[in-house]
Amino acid sequence: MVNLKYALFWVLPLVSAGTWLGMLLAMFIVWELQGSPRYVSMEPGQRIAYISDIGAQGLQPLFIAGACVTTIFLDLSFAAERWLRHTGRLAKNMGRAEKILSALSIVFALLGTCGLILLSIFDTVSHPRLHDGFLLLFMGGYIVSAIFICAEYQRLGVHFRTHRVLRASFWAKLFFIIVEIALAACFIGTTYTMNKSIAAVFEWIIALIFTFYVLTFFVDLLPASRDHQSLTNQQLGHVDEATAEHGNGHVPGGGYGYDGAGNGQQPKPPMAQNY
């Protein structure tokens, strides 16, 4: 059964991803319709404009607005995910380490937010060095944030082994980390070897892949709208607490515990945890 009170949370990443993708498409289409002009910020021989080249011209208000809306709604998605895990609507953090990892992911996401908003304000024409620094802050902040999220989800997977959503989201975010680091290395390498057109292609690809990273939070938040999901999370949390009280040092699904009668049987988690 869908709980409409919590159904709106998964709209947050959709707004973020839709705004980001719409902004990128609008900027690229305008540049193409204008005849692919060479801007003053472009290097000699550069045929493809960076996103920042287009954003530094007449479309800077769109660039700033898109960056703000994208990052604000993405940060709200981070905050919603943290709150929903705390309240048990999503697979609940069972230890302090997971909460610390979650907090660190939010901190670095906020740094990435500052980077994107500031790079859109301090354009590459008037403030090239500041712009490049904020670009690195944006990319580095969200990549490190994704690393902490993956670490958190890996630990959650120990407790919630039958949650397919956790597994799928973990692998999707890990894919984002690996691909974005590889593409960022190519982007930086081609930028400093004066292959500006190739570097611009890598920048557009990196930006588009970021859209799919944002959409992984839709997958994370969607189960919160299901009442049955909340029930199974709370049940498994009680099983884990009961196991810890017996002092056996094992977690559900990770070893042998007690079946409630002291028989040393592994407790069975609720069956309906496959969201």
Q: What is the pLDDT of residues 66-86, one digit of tens each?
A: 999 999 999 999 999 888 888
Indicate the length of the chain as a whole number: 275
How much of the chain is in helix, strand and coil states, percent to nearest 5? 70, 0, 25
Query: Which residue from 53, 11, 10, 3 is spatially nearest to 28, judged by alpha carbons?
Result: 53
Torsion over CA of 92, 75, 110 and 186, rounded to 10 degrees? 100
Asked whether residue 275 carries a pLDDT value surpassing 70, the answer given is no
Among 35-39, 91-95, 147-151, the minimum mean pLDDT is found in: 91-95
Which residues are CB-neighbours of 263 under 8 A, at least 6 positions away? none
Residue with tokens 């919590």: 6
Q: How far apart are CA 13 and CA 218, in angstroms?
A: 6
pLDDT tens digit string along 114-129?
Answer: 999 999 999 998 899 9
Query: Which residue from 120, 64, 85, 65 is spatially nearest to 233, judged by alpha carbons?
Result: 85
Average pLDDT in the 152-166 region? Answer: 78
Residue 195 to residues 31, 165, 184, 199: CA-CA distances in angstroms?
20, 40, 14, 6
Q: How far apart are CA 135 and CA 244, in angstroms?
A: 46
- The tokens describing 220, both together, are 């994370």
Q: Which long-range contacts (CB under 8 A, 24 or more apart) does 46-51 make?
A: 46/196, 46/197, 46/200, 47/197, 48/196, 48/197, 48/200, 48/201, 49/200, 50/124, 50/196, 50/199, 50/200, 50/203, 51/24, 51/27, 51/203, 51/204, 51/207
pLDDT at position 77: 93
User: Confidence band (pLDDT; 50, 70, 90) for 226?
Assistant: low
